[in-house]
Amino acid sequence: MDDIIRVMLRIMLHILFTFTLISAPVAAGAQGLINQELFSRIVPEEHLLEGKAILTLVDQRADWPAEFRLAAQADIDAVTVDDKPVPFTFTNGRLQISMKSGANTLTIVYRIRFDDPVAQDHVGIEDPSLGVTATIMPQGTFLSAASAWHPLPVDANSRFRVTITGPTGLHGITSGRLVSLETSAAGSETIWQTQRPQSALALAAGYYQIERDRLGETQLLAFFSAGNATLASGYLQSSREYLQLYQELFGPYPYDKFAVVENFYPTGYGFPGWTLLGSSVIRLPFIRTTSLPHEIAHTWWGNAVEIDYSSGNWGEGLATYVADYYLKELHAPAEALEYRRKILRDYAALIDVGDDLPLSAFRSRMSKRDQAVGYGKAAMVFHMLRNLIDDEAFWAGLKAAARDGIGRRYAWSDLQRHFEATSDMDLETFFRQWTLQAGAPQLQLTDVTVMSVDDGWQVSGTILQDAPFYDLAVPLQLETATRNYNQSIGLTEHQNCFLFTIAERPLSLSVDPKNDLFRKLYPEEVPATVNDLRASRMPLVVVARGSEALLDSSEDLLRGLQWQQAPVMNEDDYLAQRPTDKDLLVLGWPKSPELRLNLPDGFTVAGQQVTIGGKLYSEADDVLFFVLPGQEENRVTGYFLPGSLAAARDTARRISHYGRYSTLAFHKGHNQVKTTWDPVGSPLKKLFTKDAVP
């Protein structure tokens, strides 16, 4: 992986991991199903969509909707009913047409300009949509379902036949089966037909090369730009593999096609039957095995089975669990354990008690904090559920949810119902504590004693938690020289005790050694990382004496950390006031001993030179960044140590993409070192020294 890719990797991890677009809610059965025939001409140079929608009722006895939503900036050229013009009103994106019963066909002709700006510089933008709802440009077109680029009948779903036309070579993609795709000197035309009722469609368009394959009756399609066309067959191959895997786990794939479509700016969207990935995203080698399966999982979870957002978005946690997490478990169990630890560390680093939210309040990711809960915690909830009810009941529950939930809006409670049915267990307490309550339990291990008994040893102790009490099955592991003894003890209130009787001398005792529980980690279990700076509520920038010029060159660093508003002090003022309750970011090499960089063993600091792993970093092109524990518990201090102002400017924007790391070294803007401190230890692990064991 070259360095550009490596940097892109960080940028993408920041931007990506997708969310599914929320369309307008539809009350089931309020109105009849509508057939919409859409003709959409895209005029890229003018940012223009010329549209014609021909609507008919599937059941002619049903009522017409009284109102449609359409982009507020639309110009409506004509509204006709059975070819006769009818009066209408159109204000604030609400189109009201008085429809007589018995009317057969409603036709709406309109033009809409879409020109949301697409930022070139994504530093510091947490919103994965990059703030773009809809845009038509020569470089490409993206129209979200929420933009209302076609008429959205209020309280009714539609089946769509969509004809997208544009300049020669421009093809548009939306949901549904590809009916035809033609190109001539006069222009290009693409036609799609959907089967499943939907409330709204998203659309992308661009100058693509098209590659096709199939899996049974399912069309597999790739729409890639010429520059990325060689990647298409690999994406189709992976799509086929993941669709096969997920069909085994969840049941039949719910759509006619799956298309991987390139976008001209960095998105990672999952729509019914297709995914839209940015050009720079598609080129990253790991996307095929991370984002792609995540988006394919969303075709079931979030698209076919819709999400009842009013009681919390469970779709991100489930897609994360069955894709990002579960694929690691299948192929590399050690990475799966590390993934669970990362979730817990992110939660510990990014969430303060004051800004935690229950899963029932998570809607979509607008910040790293939302992600730690809505993706991370929720994935751990599915993990704990699977451990509680066992594999068979877990996958059977998902299969039942996919079968019964298609076209329905599901809440956490609907998933609970399916898992209760397949496990024959009452899961009320489980779902209540994990989805309605914010926070996480913190466990304590006390009164651990080792006694010598007739034919061996007894190890006993107590597990404690503070209110609010969680109902937990706490895994314990007792290690001896030859084997591990495992047991799980139930903890429902303040405390419970445990007892191991073993024939061998015990060496250590660990609570939750494999991080199978979602719990609050102790500071000793969480190394100081860039994410701690990013999550800081009490930031303070300290400019080292002699490094005043560095402040300007650090602007992108502060933006990336969301520290634009942080107060700034020079080193002498800091020493005079000594605020201790702050997370510090020290710019440049401090002169005073109080702020000196104290690195653990393995690093050598001499003057303004640091040796890491035998390599000396001292040149003008080098940049070092460290995050260390701060003066008070739960506080951290970061050090930004560039060899020159030019190097600082080159590197500043990259640092926030390395959120999980404690030590970073860059040379000419390219990352050379990224490491995380080892956890110091855990109060939940007890080592038995020779003296402690009778």
Rounded Cα gap, residues 477 and 490, in angstroms: 14
CB of 454 to Zn ion, least distance (A): 57
Question: Residue 668, class by beta-carbon neighbours within 10 Å (0-12 exposed, 13-18 middle, 19+ buried)?
Answer: middle
For 242: left if phi > 0, alpha if psi spans -120 to 50, otherwise beta; the answer is alpha
CB of 328 to Zn ion, least distance (A): 16
Contact mark string toward Zn ion, 437..476, x via CB under 5 A? ----------------------------------------
CB of 19 to Zn ion, least distance (A): 6
Q: Count of alpha carbons within 13 Å of 691, Cβ hemisphere only?
A: 0
Instruction: From 310-318, 394-402, 516-524, 528-536, give the range in contact with Zn ion by CB under 5 A.
Output: 310-318
Residue 249 or 645 having the CB closest to Zn ion: 249
> What is the chain's Cα-based Rg?
29
CB of 639 to Zn ion, least distance (A): 35
CB of 302 to Zn ion, least distance (A): 7
CB of 560 to Zn ion, least distance (A): 23
Instruction: From 65-73, 181-189, 274-282, 309-317, give the range in contact with Zn ion by CB under 5 A.
Output: 309-317
Residue 126 or 211 having the CB closest to Zn ion: 126
Residue 144 or 671 having the CB closest to Zn ion: 144
- CA 281 distance to own-chain centroid: 14
Rounded Cα gap, residues 41 and 51, in angstroms: 6
Using CB under 5 A, pick the residue from 162, 318, 319, 415 that binds Zn ion: 319
CA dist 447 → 461, 502, 595 (Å) = 5, 18, 39
CB of 17 to Zn ion, least distance (A): 6
CB of 370 to Zn ion, least distance (A): 12
Contact mark string toward Zn ion, 269..308, x via CB under 5 A? ----------------------------------------
- Structure-block tokens of residue 600: 């653990």
Which among 413, 398, 418 has a CA at the least distance from the CA of 300? 398
Instruction: From 29-37, 315-323, 483-491, 521-529, give the range in contact with Zn ion by CB under 5 A.
Output: 315-323
Residue 18 or 510 having the CB closest to Zn ion: 18
CB of 275 to Zn ion, least distance (A): 10
Residue 18 or 107 having the CB closest to Zn ion: 18
Residue 235 or 314 having the CB closest to Zn ion: 314
| Residue with nearest beta carbon to Zn ion | 18
Residue 18 or 174 having the CB closest to Zn ion: 18
Residue 18 or 662 having the CB closest to Zn ion: 18
CB of 442 to Zn ion, least distance (A): 29
Phi/psi of residue 51, nearest 5 degrees? -125, 150
Rounded Cα gap, residues 266 and 132, in angstroms: 11
Residue 18 or 671 having the CB closest to Zn ion: 18
SS3 476: strand
CB of 319 to Zn ion, least distance (A): 4
Find the binding residues for Zn ion in span 96-155 (CB under 5 A).
none
Which among 384, 415, 423 has a CA at the least distance from the CA of 398? 415
Rounded Cα gap, residues 141 and 167, in angstroms: 13
- Structure-block tokens of residue 111: 């033009």
* Binding footprint of Zn ion, residue count (CB under 5 A): 3
Contact mark string toward Zn ion, 17..56, x via CB under 5 A? -x--------------------------------------
Residue 198 or 364 having the CB closest to Zn ion: 364
Residue 18 or 656 having the CB closest to Zn ion: 18
Residue 320 or 423 having the CB closest to Zn ion: 320
Instruction: From 40-48, 317-325, 339-347, 462-470, give the range in contact with Zn ion by CB under 5 A.
Output: 317-325
Q: Which H or E run contains 532?
A: helix 530-534
373 binds Zn ion (CB under 5 A): no
Instruction: From 53-61, 316-324, 414-422, 432-440, give the range in contact with Zn ion by CB under 5 A.
Output: 316-324
Question: Are 43 and 136 in contact, with CB atoms under 8 Å apart?
Answer: yes
Instruction: From 311-319, 325-333, 451-459, 616-624, give the range in contact with Zn ion by CB under 5 A.
Output: 311-319
CB of 293 to Zn ion, least distance (A): 11
Instruction: From 13-21, 351-359, 632-640, 682-690, give the range in contact with Zn ion by CB under 5 A.
Output: 13-21
CB of 317 to Zn ion, least distance (A): 9
CB of 298 to Zn ion, least distance (A): 5
CB of 325 to Zn ion, least distance (A): 12
Residue 164 or 277 having the CB closest to Zn ion: 277
- What spatial distance separates the first Cα and last Cα of the chain, rounded to whole Å? 54
Rounded Cα gap, residues 543 and 545, in angstroms: 6
DSSP for 418-449, written as a single string:
HHHHHHT---HHHHIIIIIS-S---EEEEEEE
CB of 271 to Zn ion, least distance (A): 12
CA dist 568 → 133, 533, 565, 585 (Å) = 36, 15, 9, 9
Those residues with Cβ within 8 angstroms of residue 109's Cβ, 6 or more apart along the chain or in another chain: 51, 52, 76, 77, 78, 79
Instruction: From 175-183, 318-326, 478-486, 513-521, give the range in contact with Zn ion by CB under 5 A.
Output: 318-326
Residue 109 or 361 having the CB closest to Zn ion: 361
- CA 266 distance to own-chain centroid: 14
Instruction: From 14-22, 221-229, 462-470, 615-623, give the range in contact with Zn ion by CB under 5 A.
Output: 14-22
Q: HEC profile for 587-608? A: ECCCCCHHHCCCCCCCEEEECC
Rounded Cα gap, residues 246 and 297, in angstroms: 7
Cis, bond preceding 167 (omega within 30 deg of 0): no
Return the bridge partners of 137, or none: 140
Residue 296 or 319 having the CB closest to Zn ion: 319
Return the bridge partners of 263, or none: 278
Instruction: From 16-24, 154-162, 279-287, 331-339, give the range in contact with Zn ion by CB under 5 A.
Output: 16-24
Question: Are 282 and 231 in contact, with CB atoms under 8 Å apart?
Answer: yes
Residue 315 or 513 having the CB closest to Zn ion: 315
Rounded Cα gap, residues 472 and 470, in angstroms: 6
Looking only at the bridges linking them, the beta strands covering 636-642 and 622-629 are antiparallel
Residues that bind Zn ion (CB under 5 A): 18, 316, 319
